[in-house]
Structure 1
Amino acid sequence: MRVLIVSQYWAPENGVPQRRLAWISEILVNAGHQVLVIAPPPNFSRKVNLRTWLRKQLFKPAKFIEYGEKGEQILRTGFVPAGRSLSLRILHQGTVALGMLWAAAARRQIVTEFQPDLVVGTVPALPTVVVARLISEFLKVPYAIDLRDAWPDLLRDWEKWNEEVGTPSIRERLLSKGPAQALVFFVEKVVESCLNRADGLVLTSSYLAQEMEKDRRQAGLRKIPIEVVRNVFPAAVLLQKQPNPSKASLNVLYAGTIGRAQQLSNAIYAVYLASQQGVEICLKILGDGAAKSSLEDLAKKLNVNVSFEGKAEPDKLRHYYEWADTALVHLAEWKPLERAVPSKTYELMDLGLHISAVARGETAEIVRNYEAGFVVEPGNPGALARKWEVLARNREKLQVGSRASSWVEYEREKASPKALFSLLSQFEQSGDSDERKF
Structure 2
Amino acid sequence: MSTSLPGDSANKDQAREPLRLMLLTHSYWPEHSPPQRRWSSLTREFQRAGWKVDVVTPVAHYPNGRRDLPRRQAGYAFGTQTGPHGEKIRRVPYLRHLGKSPVARLIDQLFSAILSVPVGLGGKKPDAILATAPSLPTLATGYVLSRLRKVPLIVEMRDAWPDLARDARLVQGSVKSVVERAVDFVQHRADLVVTVTEGFAETLRSRGLRNVATVSNGLDLRSVPFLDPPAEDRDVFHALYLGNHGKSQRLDIVIRASALLGDGFHLTLVGTGTNRQQLVKLARELKAPVSFYPSLHGSAVLEKYREADTCIVSLRDDWKSFETTVPSKTYEVLAVGRHVTAIVKGEAKRIIEEAQGGDVVPANPEAVASLWRELATDRKRLTAGQSGREWVRDHADYAELAHHYMDQIACLISRRKPVPSTERVS
**TM-score using structure 1 length:** 0.83
Gaps of 5+ in 2: 1-18, 421-426
1:91 aligns with 2:107: yes
Code of the aligned partner of 2:386: S
**Structure 1, residues 378-401: CA drift from partner, whole Å, max 9, x if none?**
2x1111111111001110000112
- Cα RMSD over matched residues? 2.7
Code of the aligned partner of 1:76: R
Structure 2 Cα separation of the partners of residues 152 and 372 of structure 1: 31
Aligned residue in 2 for 1:314: 298
**Does the CA contact (< 8 Å) of 1:66 and 1:73 recur in 2?**
yes
1:357 aligns with 2:367: no
Code of the aligned partner of 2:114: L
**Does the CA contact (< 8 Å) of 1:338 and 1:360 recur in 2?**
yes
Code of the aligned partner of 2:23: I
Superposed displacement of residue 2, structure 1: 1.0
Aligned residue in 2 for 1:198: 190
Code of the aligned partner of 1:143: L
Structure 1 Cα separation of the partners of residues 168 and 238 of structure 2: 33
Question: Cα 1:225–1:47, aligned 2, differ >3 Å: closer, same or farther?
Answer: closer
Structure 2 Cα separation of the partners of residues 141 and 351 of structure 1: 41
1:71 aligns with 2:81: no
The one of 235, 243, 252 aligned to 1:248:
235
Superposed displacement of residue 246, structure 1: 1.1
Gaps of 5+ in 1: 105-110, 162-179, 217-221
More helix, by proportion: 1
Structure 2 Cα separation of the partners of residues 354 and 306 of structure 1: 19
Aligned residue in 1 for 2:329: 344
Aligned residue in 1 for 2:135: 125
**Structure 1, residues 136-170: CA drift from partner, whole Å, max 9, x if none?**
01111110111111111001123389xxxxxxxxx
**TM-score using structure 2 length:** 0.86
Structure 1 Cα separation of the partners of residues 163 and 78 of structure 2: 38
Aligned to 1:114, what secondary structure does the other structure show? coil
Structure 2 Cα separation of the partners of residues 96 and 125 of structure 1: 11
Question: Cα 1:44–1:211, aligned 2, differ >3 Å: closer, same or farther?
Answer: closer
Structure 1 Cα separation of the partners of residues 117 and 34 of structure 2: 24
For residues 407-426 of structure 1, the aligned pairs below 5 Å read: 407-411=391-395, 412-426=398-412
1:185 aligns with 2:160: no
Code of the aligned partner of 1:252: A
Superposed displacement of residue 231, structure 1: 2.7
Structure 2 Cα separation of the partners of residues 126 and 40 of structure 1: 15
The one of 351, 354, 368 aligned to 1:369:
354
Question: Cα 1:112–1:160, aligned 2, differ >3 Å: closer, same or farther?
Answer: closer
1:13 aligns with 2:41: no
Superposed displacement of residue 317, structure 1: 1.0
Aligned residue in 2 for 1:323: 307
Question: Cα 1:383–1:129, aligned 2, differ >3 Å: closer, same or farther?
Answer: same
**Structure 1, residues 354-394: CA drift from partner, whole Å, max 9, x if none?**
1111010111110011100000122x111111111100111
Structure 2 Cα separation of the partners of residues 402 and 22 of structure 1: 26
Which stretch shifts more, 119-128 or 418-427? 418-427
Aligned residue in 2 for 1:176: none
Aligned to 1:426, what secondary structure does the other structure show? helix
Aligned residue in 2 for 1:175: none
Structure 2 Cα separation of the partners of residues 129 and 181 of structure 1: 24
Structure 2 Cα separation of the partners of residues 61 and 398 of structure 1: 48
**Does the CA contact (< 8 Å) of 1:227 and 1:423 recur in 2?**
no
Superposed displacement of residue 45, structure 1: 9.4
Structure 1 Cα separation of the partners of residues 56 and 252 of structure 2: 37
Which stretch shifts more, 140-149 or 38-47? 38-47
Structure 2 Cα separation of the partners of residues 43 and 61 of structure 1: 11
Code of the aligned partner of 1:185: S
Work out the number of aligned pairs and report it.
393
Question: Cα 1:131–1:303, aligned 2, differ >3 Å: closer, same or farther?
Answer: same
Aligned to 1:159, what secondary structure does the other structure show? coil
The one of 25, 29, 42 aligned to 1:24:
42
Structure 1 Cα separation of the partners of residues 174 and 105 of structure 2: 17
Superposed displacement of residue 240, structure 1: 3.3
The one of 158, 163, 169 aligned to 2:168:
158
Structure 1 Cα separation of the partners of residues 234 and 63 of structure 2: 43
Aligned residue in 2 for 1:81: 96
Structure 2 Cα separation of the partners of residues 6 and 317 of structure 1: 29
